[in-house]
């Protein structure tokens, strides 16, 4: 599971960087630039969700280790 979360994070980071480079700073809310902006935000959310999942799994492992 840990490897999968790292792979998802790397893919989301690559998608986010690609889409940030496609944003037109003159008109960020028009046309393809708007799509790139939304996709970059979605990639950031995916990274955040996977990071929360990774931290929650770590806390779960540590709490099980303390109970044993």
Domain residue spans of the chain: 2-67
Per-residue confidence (pLDDT) for residue 3, from 0 to 100: 93
| Residues 51, 17: Cα–Cα separation, whole Å | 18
Please state, for a pLDDT cut of 90, what percent of the chain lies above it.
85
Per-residue confidence (pLDDT) for residue 1, from 0 to 100: 83
pTM equals 0.85
Burial class, 43, CB count within 10 angstroms (exposed 0-12 / middle 13-18 / buried 19+): buried
67 has pLDDT over 90? no
20 has pLDDT over 80? yes
């Amino acid at each position: 599971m840990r490897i999968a979360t790292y792979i998802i994070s790397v893919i989301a980071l690559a998608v986010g960087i690609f889409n940030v480079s496609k944003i037109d700073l003159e008109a960020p809310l028009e046309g393809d630039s708007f799509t790139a902006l939304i996709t970059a935000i979605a990639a950031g959310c995916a990274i955040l969700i996977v990071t929360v999942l990774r931290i929650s799994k770590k806390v779960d492992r540590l709490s099980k280790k303390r109970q044993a």
